[in-house]
Amino acid sequence: MQKLAVYGGPKAVKDGDVVNNWPPIDKIDRDLVMASLESGHHTYGPNCTALENEFMAWNGNKHAINANSGTAALHMGIASCGLGAGDHVLVTAYSWSSSATCIMHHNCIPVFVDINFDTMNIDEDLIEAAITKKTRAIVAVHLHGLPCNMDKIMKIAKKHNLKVIEDACQAHGALFKGRKVGTFGDATAFSMNQNKCLCSGEGGIMVTDDEEVYRAARALWSFGETRTPSEKRDYHAYALGWMYRSSDLPAAMGRAQLTKLSKYIAIQRKNGSVLLDELQGVPGLIPPTVPKDREPNWYNFVIRIDMDRTSWKGPRARFRDAVTEALSAEGVPNCVWQHFILPDMTVFKAQNAYGQGCPWSCPYTKPVKYDVSKFPNALRHCETHTCIINPLRIPNGVKAAKAVARGVRKVFENLDQIDPDRILKKA
């Protein structure tokens, strides 16, 4: 028995063992960003097109579009695949809200599928049961940087003539059977938000190998026009469009970070493997599962609490919240990544995104119900998880991973000390 730090015991992780600043900034970043600042190109400029070309080469795609967010890239993927009013689109019940709101952005209806508890991704074996006569596509979310089983998803999509949009916003460089995500579906979205493995502050990239998908996405991305800002524009809107373009300064930062991305991911994989090894067999802890055919980028290292190994009889999330406080007190940087499963979020439960019940009231669709109890694995995961992010990232190394493991082990080896009412001090 060790006295937990949350009760006044000594911290398991010493100050300085873990560095939390992300991303690292060096001369490459400063040179490219300052050159952009002084160039006079402050809207869609040469760094934007250069980033598109360099990311295409890095990921192995024929086309790329630099957008102002991963959410914009997701909406572009939905729209460019020809989806429209009333169409049903399947998506995991547990993800960031954008994985499903992007579907509603184009007047389509999200239909949720429960997760595989082990992988935390959509349960590929439940997809076919969720298909209706209105189903037109699947959003495959590679959550926390672990790829979905793309063989199963693409086989189902081919059988039912469905489009596949990969949500790889967290999954840069993640591999399924040795092949990078973003090279399977009809379109893929990546994010470049500050906490992503590839950071430009804010930003996104949509990639595809399909020329028609690319052209449709370009039109949506720039006011519904068919000519890009780098071409001679006629400023004519040929279809409904948005303004999803990025600008030169963040693209310059993205280019600089892209030169280091492969190195970053290699370090994350090494640190993730060390942490995974260190946490095997810890009582009450459910470590991440990595199927043999997949290689994550370890965007997030997600641990869950085995509630059957505790004596707590109250709400699972309350016990989890106490554990996260105890981990933080030990010096383990961790956070609850998402407090609600998607079908439990108001925007979906209310079925009134645009007013008058739209898009669910669309005469071209079929009714969809969101019964939270139908997603038991997503609920269990949501209420028992916490995430470890920055300790796996450069400049942290094996020392940091082992220090974090020491703190996690201390808390989980003393789970019987966790008293949520004492730690949280609130009803």
Rounded-to-integer distance, Cα 153 and Cα 334, Å: 32
| From 145-149, 177-181, 362-366, 409-413, the region with the lowest mean pLDDT | 362-366
Rounded-to-integer distance, Cα 291 and Cα 149, Å: 9
Helix axes 248-278, 398-412, angle to 10 degrees: 60
Looking at 258, 289, 305, the residue that finishes a domain is 258
pLDDT tens digits along 351-373: 999 999 999 999 999 989 999 99
Residue 148: the pLDDT is 98
Backbone angles phi, psi at 226, to 5 degrees: -100, -5
Residue 105 lies in a domain: yes
pLDDT for 1 beyond 70: no
In a shared domain, residues 91 and 188: yes
Residue 356 lies in a domain: no
pLDDT for 427 beyond 50: no
In a shared domain, residues 174 and 299: no
In a shared domain, residues 38 and 59: yes
pLDDT tens digits along 61-74: 999 999 999 999 99
Give me the half-sphere count of Cα atoms (radius 13 Å) on the Cβ side of residue 237: 10
pLDDT for 240 beyond 90: no
pTM: 0.95
The average confidence (pLDDT) of the chain is 95
In a shared domain, residues 176 and 199: yes
Number of domains in the chain: 2
Residue 45 lies in a domain: yes
In a shared domain, residues 206 and 168: yes
In a shared domain, residues 212 and 272: no
Residue 267 tokens, joined = 């370090």
Report in angstroms the alpha-carbon separations of 361 from 41, 220, 270, 292, 364: 44, 24, 49, 44, 9
Residue 370 lies in a domain: no
pLDDT tens digits along 290-341: 999 999 999 999 999 999 999 999 999 999 999 999 999 999 999 999 999 9
Residue 237 lies in a domain: yes
Residue 366 lies in a domain: no
In a shared domain, residues 94 and 200: yes
Q: What is the CATH number of the domain that holds 276?
A: 3.90.1150.10
pLDDT tens digits along 154-191: 999 999 999 999 999 999 999 999 999 999 999 999 99
Looking at 233, 258, 283, the residue that finishes a domain is 258
In a shared domain, residues 138 and 207: yes
HEC string of 124-154? HHHHHHHCCCCEEEEEEECHHHCCCCHHHHH
Residue 363 lies in a domain: no
In a shared domain, residues 108 and 189: yes
Structural domain of residue 146, as residue ranges? 27-258
Query: Residue 234 — very low, low, confident or very high, per pLDDT cuts 50/70/90?
Result: confident
pLDDT tens digits along 329-351: 999 999 999 999 999 999 999 99
Average pLDDT over every residue of 215-219: 92
In a shared domain, residues 17 and 31: no
In a shared domain, residues 269 and 305: yes
Residue 54 lies in a domain: yes
Q: 3-state class of 187 per DSSP?
A: strand
Residue 247 tokens, joined = 């600008």
Average pLDDT over every residue of 381-394: 96
Residue 104 tokens, joined = 């509603």
Residue 187: strand pairing partners: 165
